[in-house]
């Protein structure tokens, strides 16, 4: 089973047309990613103490079904890709509406950054298992050096 969290949507997630704001979808996905780090035993605040943090290069969202104000949603996280050195990663989020139907997918491509040098970095060895517990997607691929 993928790592997932259930949320109750809130009034501020919606625009005047009663559509869930596109940025709200991305906010829920980001929340799931950060909570996953704690679930895996490595809270993002602990990683930051080592001077490392997650960054995103790209974020693609595909909208499928409408979500309504106050509706419960489930947001999951699955590993879509990983470099051999674990420095770059891709994560797919599926957002399911209250009926369990796919409402949106979000795919992010990210890496780790040295918070002081502001350059890409690798996680210290003690974090090697960080992404190991995340379920891989059926189309998981290893990220090749220099590949996006």
pLDDT at site 146: 63
Residue 7 has pLDDT above 60, yes or no: yes
Does 147 map to a domain? no
Give the C-alpha separation, 111 to 82, whole Å: 10
Give the C-alpha separation, 88 to 79, whole Å: 11
CB distance 65 to 97 below 8 Å? yes
Domain hosting residue 128, numbered range: 3-142
Token duo for residue 23: 């940025």
CATH code of the domain in which 136 resides: 3.10.129.10
pLDDT at site 1: 58
Each residue of 83-124: pLDDT tens digit?
999 999 999 999 999 999 999 999 999 999 999 999 999 999
Does 24 map to a domain? yes
DSSP one-letter string for 112-137: EEETTTTEEEPPPGGGTTTTTTSPEE
Each residue of 47-85: pLDDT tens digit?
999 999 999 999 999 999 999 999 999 999 999 999 999
pLDDT at site 2: 77
């Amino acid at each position: 089973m993928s790592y997932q969290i259930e949320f109750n949507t809130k009034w501020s997630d919606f625009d005047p047309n009663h559509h869930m704001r596109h940025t709200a979808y991305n906010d829920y996905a980001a929340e799931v990613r950060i909570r996953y780090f704690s679930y895996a035993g490595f809270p993002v605040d602990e990683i930051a103490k080592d001077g490392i943090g997650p960054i995103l290069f790209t974020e693609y969202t595909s909208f499928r079904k409408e979500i309504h104000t106050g509706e419960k949603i489930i947001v999951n996280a699955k590993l879509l890709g990983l470099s051999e050195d674990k420095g770059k990663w891709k994560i797919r989020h599926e957002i399911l509406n209250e009926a369990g139907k796919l409402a949106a997918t979000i795919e992010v491509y990210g890496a780790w950054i040295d918070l002081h040098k502001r350059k890409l970095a690798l996680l210290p060895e003690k974090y090697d298992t960080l992404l190991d517990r995340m379920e891989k997607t059926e189309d998981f691929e290893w990220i090749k050096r220099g590949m996006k």
